[in-house]
Amino acid sequence: MRDSLIPAPIALIPWRLILLVVAIGVFGLVILYSAAGGSLKPWAEPQGVRFIVFLLGAILLSRVPEGYIKAVSFPIYGILLVMLLVVELFGIVGGGSQRWLDLGFIRIQPSELMKPVIVLVLATFYEQLPASESRRFTAIWPAAILIGLPAALVLLQPDLGTAMMIVAGGITITFLAGLPLRLYVGGLALFAAGMPLALGLMHDYQRNRVLIFLNPESDPLGTGYHISQSKIAIGSGGLFGKGFLNGTQSHLDYLPEGHTDFVFATMAEEWGLMGGLFLIAAFLLVVNWGIRVSLRAKTRFGQLAAAGLATTIFFYFAINLMMVMGLAPVVGIPLPLVSFGGSAMMTVLLCLGLLMAIDRNSRLPG
């Protein structure tokens, strides 16, 4: 079925996925062009350059053998943990929250990279764990430590959204690895019961965000302003939107963070429900492709890692959309490939590169 005229390396690239990702990315650039008032600067242009670079990087990454990825996952996990610690110490010295590590030539956000790496390191761990042990305590405690350490450090930054995503990504792997189902049912019950306690331990601004999420109209000009204005932008867009460059909420600055976390609202105001359904469908297709890669994977590492990476991408877009539509508190998760900013784009394209590598591995003959 494979056309012999096309060389194997090119034929092995999942072109339909690339096309989908490029469609999302280009749509993102169009939105950023509008958010800047009809200008390539200051957002669309650097974002476009970044997109091309990271996408090429992802395609290159797809050629790395699965075994190599498996081999480096633990060392990279260790390095990121050290970096998180350093960031934390800088934060204490510098005062206030610190997320970046400036290495001179590049600024690295270790918490962001931890999202895919936690998936890789757990997938490695469960592949090495003998099947007979998978319902024992030895299947749980190392995973708990692997998840708990980075999550705790990120929470201290404090970055609630990223910490939640690390924990959720890790737990997804343990679930797929076959840990007893009752753990998850019980955990869910505990989570519901523990919410009030969690609220008590949160920083003031975090607690405010949660409380105002529950009743945004209680503070329409304060912290609830973000959610209220975002809902107005989305709701006023209607079915087909107000038209390209015609959004008033974004162009007159009523919508805060209209080019970063709330870029979806900027889009929805101008493109309406149709634009929204396009993005939701596109992301679901990408995530679904990732799940299908995991089902096709020949190794246990490939299965767990692929499903986990796909879920990481899912968490990004699902949490962001829930946030901008008033279904979740404002936790600062950007919409990948669309929001202005390099970190989330790099992470998501890293996930996709790894997924393509696993896909390639399972499609390689013999």
Partner 1 sequence: MKRANRIITEQTQGFTFTRRAMLLGGMQVAVGGVLATRMAWLSIAENERYRLLAESNRVQLILIPPRRGWIVDRHGRPIANNRTSFRVDLIPEQLRDRGPVLASLREMLALDEEEMQRINDDLDKAARYQPVPVAENIDYEHYAAVTVRMAEEPGVAPTSGNARFYPAGAAVGHLTGYVGAASPKQYEETHDPLLITPGFKVGKDGLERTMESILRGKPGARREEVTARGKLVRDLETRPDTPGGTLHLTIDAGLQEYAARRLGSNSGAVVVIDCQTGDLLAMASMPSYDPNSFSDGISHSEWNMLSADDHLPLVNKVLQGLYPPGSTSKPMTALGLLEAGIDPDAKVNCTGAYRVGNSFFHCSKRGGHGPINLANAIKVSCDIYFYHFGVVAGINALAPMARKLGLGAEFPLPVTTQRYGTVPDPAWMERKYHKSWSTYDTVNTSIGQGYMLVNPLQLAVMVARIASGRAILPNMVQKTRKTAPPLDVSAEHLEFVRNAMSSVVNGGGTAGVARLPVDGVLLAGKTGTAQVRRITMAERRRGVLSNSALPWKYRDHSLFICFAPVASPRYAAAVIVEHGGWGASVAAPIARDTITWLYDKNKAMDRLLALEADWGGDIVTRMNAKAVAWRAAKAAEGNSIASPGDADDDA
Verify binding: residue 303, partner 1, rule CB under 8 A: yes
Cross-strand pairs, 107: 102
Q: Which of 135, 191, 243, 245 binds partner 1 (CB under 8 A)?
A: 135
Smaller CB distance to partner 1: residue 107 or 136?
Answer: 136
- Residues between 333 and 362 that touch partner 1 (CB under 8 A): none
What backbone torsions phi and psi does residue 135 show, to the nearest 5 degrees? -110, 20
Q: Which of 268, 331, 348, 355 binds partner 1 (CB under 8 A)?
A: 268
Verify binding: residue 134, partner 1, rule CB under 8 A: yes
H or E element in which residue 101 lies = strand 101-102
Verify binding: residue 304, partner 1, rule CB under 8 A: yes
Inter-CA distances, 145 with 142, 207, 295, Å: 5, 26, 27
Quickly tell me which residue has 């390689």 as its tokens.
Answer: 364
| Helical ranges in the chain per DSSP H | 8-11, 15-35, 44-61, 66-94, 110-128, 141-156, 160-176, 181-201, 204-214, 224-237, 248-251, 263-296, 300-324, 342-363
Inter-CA distances, 121 with 24, 78, 245, 291, Å: 29, 10, 44, 18
Rg (CA), the chain: 21
Cross-strand pairs, 101: 108
For partner 1, which stretch binds (CB under 8 A), given 15-23, 30-38, 145-153, 294-302? Answer: 294-302
Q: Which of 47, 109, 157, 249 binds partner 1 (CB under 8 A)?
A: 249
Taking the complex as a whole, the smallest distance from the CB of residue 332 to partner 1 amounts, in Å, to: 18
Smaller CB distance to partner 1: residue 84 or 227?
Answer: 227
Taking the complex as a whole, the smallest distance from the CB of residue 104 to partner 1 amounts, in Å, to: 37
User: 169 with 308: CB under 8 angstroms?
Assistant: yes
Distance between start and end Cα atoms, the chain: 16
Cross-strand pairs, 108: 101
Verify binding: residue 325, partner 1, rule CB under 8 A: yes
Q: Which of 25, 150, 169, 237 binds partner 1 (CB under 8 A)?
A: 237
Taking the complex as a whole, the smallest distance from the CB of residue 181 to partner 1 amounts, in Å, to: 9
d(CA 108, CA 69): 20
Quickly tell me which residue has 């998840």 as its tokens.
Answer: 147
Smaller CB distance to partner 1: residue 12 or 323?
Answer: 323
Verify binding: residue 124, partner 1, rule CB under 8 A: no
Verify binding: residue 117, partner 1, rule CB under 8 A: no
For partner 1, which stretch binds (CB under 8 A), given 17-25, 150-158, 280-288, 342-350? Answer: 280-288
For partner 1, which stretch binds (CB under 8 A), given 28-36, 94-102, 145-153, 252-260? Answer: 252-260
Mask 189-228, x = binds partner 1 (CB under 8 A)?
----------------------------------------
Smaller CB distance to partner 1: residue 308 or 341?
Answer: 308
**Joined tokens for residue 49:** 């350059």
Q: Which of 9, 75, 187, 238 binds partner 1 (CB under 8 A)?
A: 238
Size of the chain in residues: 366
Q: Which of 10, 106, 214, 252 binds partner 1 (CB under 8 A)?
A: 252
The three-class DSSP label of residue 107 is strand
User: 348 with 337: CB under 8 angstroms?
Assistant: yes
d(CA 315, CA 251): 29
Q: What does the binding site for partner 1 look like in residue numbers (CB under 8 A)?
A: 131-132, 134-136, 172, 175-178, 180, 229, 231-239, 248-249, 252-254, 268-269, 272-273, 276-277, 280-281, 283-284, 287-288, 291, 294-295, 300, 303-304, 307, 311, 314, 318, 321-322, 325, 327
